[in-house]
Amino acid sequence: MWKRLDGKIKVRCLASACEDNLHCFKLGNKLATVLGAGTCRECKQPLVSMERVAQRDLADIDHTFAALQRECIRHYFWHIPFGQRALNYAHRAGRLALEERMPRRLRSRIGKAEPFRDGTQTPIATEKADALDYSMHAVAACCRKCVEYWHGIPVGQPLTEEEIAYLAELMRRYLQARLPDLDDQPRKIPSRPKADTVLRLPTARPHEAITLKHQHPHAS
C-alpha cells in the first residue's frame, strides 16, 4: 500500500487517506466537541473507541494495536520497512539495550508537562528516525498531544512512572512484532554495509493489522 501512496501523502499527524481506510483521529477541542473522540476529522466517521484504548489495559493490547493502525501515521510506522538507519541502530544496540533505553527516551522526549516544541521532537523522516522513533510513532508516544488523545494522559502534567512503564511496554511489544529475530545482544554492523549484506526487514500485508499473535512474515 505505501509503495502506491508514496509521494501522494505527506506523512504527518494530520495525514489521512480515508479511501484506503487510513484516518486521522487528532481533533482540536472544537472538533472533539462536535465529532467526538475516535471520529476521523476528514470523513467524519466514528471508527475507534478511544475510551477503550485509554483504559491502558495490556490484556487488551491486540485491540489497542489494531486501533492504532487505523490512523494513517500509525499505520505507516507499523507497515513500512525500517530504514537502514533504524535497522542498523537496532542491531548495533541489541534487543536488551533497546528495551533499557525506552523509558529514558520517553522521559527525555515527552516526560515533562510541556515538552519543548511538542509535536516535533520525534523524527518522522526514515533517513533520520531510529528504531525507537519508529516505535514511538507507531504506539502514539511521539509527543504529548498524541499521548493525550490516544492514551488519555493529559498534557500539562509530568508523566508518572506508571505511565512511562506502560508506553515503554507498548514500544517493546511493537519492536517484538516488527523485529522478531533481533538478537538480544549487539551485532557489529559496518558503517557502510556491502550490497549483499544489507539486512532485510519484515513486510506487512496490505490492510492487515499486525498483532502479537499474528506477526507478519519477513520480506523475501
Model confidence at 213, pLDDT cuts 50, 70, 90, reads low
For residue 202, pLDDT beyond 60: no
Sign of the CA dihedral running 37, 139, 12, 142: positive
- pLDDT for 220: 30
For residue 31, give the 3-state DSSP assignment. helix
Q: What is the pLDDT of residue 208?
A: 57
* CA dist., res. 3 & res. 73, Å (int): 15
Q: Which residues contact 152 (CB under 8 A, 6 or more apart)?
A: 50, 51, 53, 54, 56
pLDDT of 149: 96
User: C-alpha distances in angstroms, 155 versus 28, 74, 111, 149, 170?
Assistant: 13, 20, 10, 10, 19
Q: In this model, does residue 46 exceed pLDDT 70?
A: yes
Q: Which residues have a Cβ under 8 Å from the Cβ of 115 and sit 6 or more positions away?
A: 109, 121, 143, 144
Q: What is the pLDDT of residue 9?
A: 84
Radius of gyration of the chain (CA): 17
**Three-class DSSP category at 115:** coil
The pLDDT confidence band at residue 216, using thresholds 50, 70 and 90, is: very low
pLDDT digits (tens, 9 = 90+) for 56-110: 999 999 999 999 999 999 999 999 999 999 999 999 999 999 999 999 999 999 9
Asked whether the predicted pLDDT for residue 124 surpasses 70, the reply is yes
- The pTM for the full model equals 0.87
pLDDT at 5: 81
Give CA–CA dist 88/190, Å, rounded. Answer: 9
Q: What is the mean pLDDT of residues 151-163?
A: 97
What confidence tier does 154 reach under pLDDT thresholds 50, 70, 90? Answer: very high
